[in-house]
């Protein structure tokens, strides 16, 4: 017999890994409302814009979490070329996820 794992055990390991990752995501989604994130903002970012000259301020309301980051990212990608400075204001957020902060930091460093 060889010491190589069988295809069955590799498939079982992959399935177990997917189950654990899925459970972790569900747990994170469940904990955000417990920490104050309104249900309406779990999957949709609520963003208000204010433009002053060459500065754009994006006010994020309720929550900025990994499940609604795509809306904020799309808005950041659509910033007009004449905008020199973008300010993302989280003052009206109950919850700001570390994932969102990390992605914004990465975008700021790359810019």
What sections of the chain are H helices per DSSP?
7-34, 69-77, 98-110
Taking each continuous run of H as one helix and of E as one strand, the counts in the chain are 3, 3
pLDDT band at 91 (very low <50, low <70, confident <90, very high): very high
* Mean per-residue pLDDT, 14-35: 79
pLDDT the model gives residue 94: 87
How many whole angstroms separate alpha carbon 76 and alpha carbon 93?
18
pLDDT exceeds 70 at position 6: no
**80 or 35, which is more confident:** 80
CATH code for 7-110? Answer: 3.30.750.24
Q: Which residue has the tokens 């949709």?
A: 44
> With pLDDT > 70 as the criterion, what percentage of the chain qualifies?
91
Task: Give the predicted TM-score (pTM) of the model.
Answer: 0.72
**13 or 72, which is more confident:** 72
Q: Which of 3-12, 35-44, 98-107 has the lowest mean pLDDT?
A: 3-12
How many whole angstroms separate alpha carbon 105 and alpha carbon 111?
10
């Amino acid at each position: 017999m060889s010491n190589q794992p069988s295809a069955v055990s590799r498939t079982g390991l992959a399935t177990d890994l997917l189950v654990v990752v899925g459970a972790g995501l569900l747990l994170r989604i469940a904990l955000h409302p417990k920490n104050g994130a309104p249900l309406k903002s779990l999957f949709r970012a609520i963003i208000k814009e204010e433009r002053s000259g060459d500065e754009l301020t994006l006010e994020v309301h309720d929550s900025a979490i990994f499940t609604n980051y795509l809306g904020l990212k799309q808005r950041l990608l659509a910033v007009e070329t004449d905008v020199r400075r973008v300010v993302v204001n989280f003052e009206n957020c109950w919850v700001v996820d570390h994932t969102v902060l990390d992605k914004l930091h990465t975008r700021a460093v790359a810019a």
